[in-house]
Amino acid sequence: MTSQSAMRVLGIGGSLREGSQSERALRIALAGAEEAGAQTVALAGSALSLPFYDAAVAERSAEALALVEAVRTADGVIVVSPGYHGALSGLVKNALDYVEDLRSDVRPYLHGRAVGLIAVANGWQAAVTTLDQLRTIAHALRGWPTPLGGTVNTAEVKFDEAGGASDSRVADKLRLIGRQVAEFGHSRRAWDGVSPDAGVGTPE
């Protein structure tokens, strides 16, 4: 990314379910990033319906190539997963596995990018354990998890189609996560302007 181009935040997440609460949470967080001056793109739900990631094959579907390119060009990323059996969903995990295709990039994996992480489950336990897993993955991919992570319990709050929430404090928190991703992106661009420090390697 050059400092002349718009700062870009990519959202990944949601489920295949009509009216997905995690996709709605993702869109609220992206709105927060926009408030902080980012352009946003969402790859949600069926856009993540990709073949199982296979490191041994070179061919990729058009959708997979679009995902990898979107991560490559993003200044920051927001990941929102539903909690499935206490963990992130297979859909979201498989999408994140594709970040492996950026292993040899100038900015490998999520290097230099803030990652906003939000878990949406029907109870607190799965929300918390899923957020923890998302943070572990973001660290492994060399991303910078934002100070605030999101846990949403859909037994207590519902998101509507228009971007609202039955509890406005929850929506405020999600927007704040989006803002933190964008703010880090602005800072990182300023830093890269004086000290480019790209490196190549493997996830830890």
Ligand X SMILES: Cc1cc2nc3c(=O)[nH]c(=O)nc-3n(C[C@H](O)[C@H](O)[C@H](O)COP(=O)(O)O)c2cc1C
d(CA 34, CA 27): 10
- Sole residue written with tokens 């602005």: 186
Amino acid (one-letter) located at 168:
S
Q: Which stretch binds ligand X (CB under 6 A): 13-21, 59-67, 140-148, 168-176?
A: 13-21
What is the maximum alpha-carbon separation in the chain? 47
Candidates 8, 20, 74, 91; binder of ligand X (CB under 6 A) is 20
Q: Is 134 in the site for ligand X (CB under 6 A)?
A: no
Interaction between residue 83 and ligand X (CB under 6 A): yes
Judged by CB under 6 A, does residue 150 bind ligand X?
no
- 53 versus 84: smaller Cβ distance to ligand X: 84
Contacts of 89 (CB under 8 A, 6+ apart): 15, 81, 82
β-strands 76-84, 87-88 pairing: antiparallel
Task: Check residue 21 for interaction with ligand X (CB under 6 A).
Answer: yes
Using the minimum distance from each CB to ligand X, give the nearer residue, 45 or 112: 45
- Which one of 12-20, 97-105, 180-188, 189-197 is the stretch in contact with ligand X (CB under 6 A)? 12-20
- Write the DSSP symbol of residue 142: T
160 contributes a contact to ligand X by CB under 6 A: no
Residue in 1, 8, 9, 22 binding ligand X, rule: CB under 6 A: 22
> Chain centroid to CA 100: how far?
15
Q: What is the full DSSP assignment across 107-152?
A: S-TTTT-EEEEEEEESSHHHHHHHHHHHHHHHHHTT-EE-S--EEE
User: Quick check: 94 binds ligand X (CB under 6 A)?
Assistant: no
Site residues, ligand X (CB under 6 A): 14-15, 17, 20-23, 82-86, 120-123, 126, 154
